[in-house]
Amino acid sequence: MDRERLIQIFKDRDVGEILIDEPMKRHTSFKIGGPVDMMIIPRGEEQIVEAIGLCRRNNIPFYIMGNGTNLLVKDGGLRGVVIKINEGMNDIIVHRDSIVCGAGALLTGVSRRAMKSSLTGMEFANGIPGTVGGAVTMNAGAYGGEMKDVIIRVRALDREGNIREYSNEDMNFRYRGSRVVDEGLIVLEVEFQLKEGDYSAIKETMEDLTFRRKSKQPLELPSGGSTFKRPVGYYAGKLIEDSGLKGLRHGGAQVSEKHCGFVVNIDEASCKDVLELISVIQKTVRDKYGVKLEREIKLIGEDS
């Protein structure tokens, strides 16, 4: 995309921080991804509305991201604009039995605030490294809980440019998906319904889940979390391990030695390395067990 034209369109507009030719590897937990023509980091709803309006009116492709913990960006990067809804929009307001937060708030931060306020319900989300917006999109979940269980209201921008409020039922939550995916909504604010609880019990549960996560997951290496969705009746990690793929390396990417459900970036992996390794895993598991592993991580961008 023509950088000069992009800069001309966005300069002097109130859209937040602007970065040009920004390497996406700086913004993804996988530490992979070529440059995006322009990244915008808004500080509020008005700036998001303005940025999206400008993209739509000028036919500029745009992509919304949160904390980049479920994203695999191709080595050629992205043309157009990435709008990163993260630290600029991370207010967390605690009410008597609910929490309202900006889409850019980190889930772990929300869980910790809930604990400090002796509110129970968000313990499961501690340790999921994404933003609230990303978690609503994916209906993120862990250890028996998911976003669907705790959300009562989502404020979002729809495709027509209207800001609307959605109830839990409106959101079409399902395993790793929601209405956000179906309709290209942009999540702005979320309200979680919680219950008064016992501070020590909440803290104990969160510490236990953190311990389980740290002992089982390769948190010391860059990754995009679980590479595959859970196939019905199986665990992806176990199928991969039983297929003899533990530790298999391709370029800088590897099937984690600690948890085979994770592909990790052990040495400057390219997106191509990861995608080729994913293909080998899918083919091996399909040939051996007849199970189709579907990628959970979102793939965006273009080849170099």
Ligand X SMILES: Cc1cc2nc3c(=O)[nH]c(=O)nc-3n(C[C@H](O)[C@H](O)[C@H](O)COP(=O)(O)OP(=O)(O)OC[C@H]3O[C@@H](n4cnc5c(N)ncnc54)[C@H](O)[C@@H]3O)c2cc1C
Hey, which residues are catalytic here?
176, 226, 296
In whole angstroms, the minimum distance from the beta carbon of 76 to ligand X comes to 19
- Cβ contact 135:107 at 8 Å: yes
In whole angstroms, the minimum distance from the beta carbon of 172 to ligand X comes to 14
In whole angstroms, the minimum distance from the beta carbon of 155 to ligand X comes to 11
17-23 and 253-255 strand pairing: unpaired
Nearer to ligand X, 128 or 285 (CB): 128
Among the listed residues 111, 113, 149, the one whose alpha carbon sits nearest the alpha carbon of residue 130:
111
Nearer to ligand X, 129 or 252 (CB): 129
Helices then strands, counting H and E runs in the chain, come out as 9, 18
Around Cβ 304, how many Cβ atoms within 10 Å? 11
Nearer to ligand X, 70 or 282 (CB): 70
In whole angstroms, the minimum distance from the beta carbon of 242 to ligand X comes to 22
CA separation for the pair 282, 182 (Å, rounded): 26
CA separation for the pair 222, 44 (Å, rounded): 29
Nearer to ligand X, 179 or 250 (CB): 179
Q: At 22, which helix (H) or strand (E)? A: strand 17-23
Nearer to ligand X, 184 or 244 (CB): 184
Cα angle for residues 44, 47, 51 (degrees, 5° grid): 140
In whole angstroms, the minimum distance from the beta carbon of 126 to ligand X comes to 10
CA separation for the pair 38, 285 (Å, rounded): 39
CA separation for the pair 112, 194 (Å, rounded): 13
| DSSP label of 158 | -
CA separation for the pair 151, 146 (Å, rounded): 9
By CB under 6 A, name the binding residues for ligand X: 29, 64-71, 85, 103, 128-131, 133-135, 137-138, 140-142, 180, 186-187, 217, 219, 223-225, 298
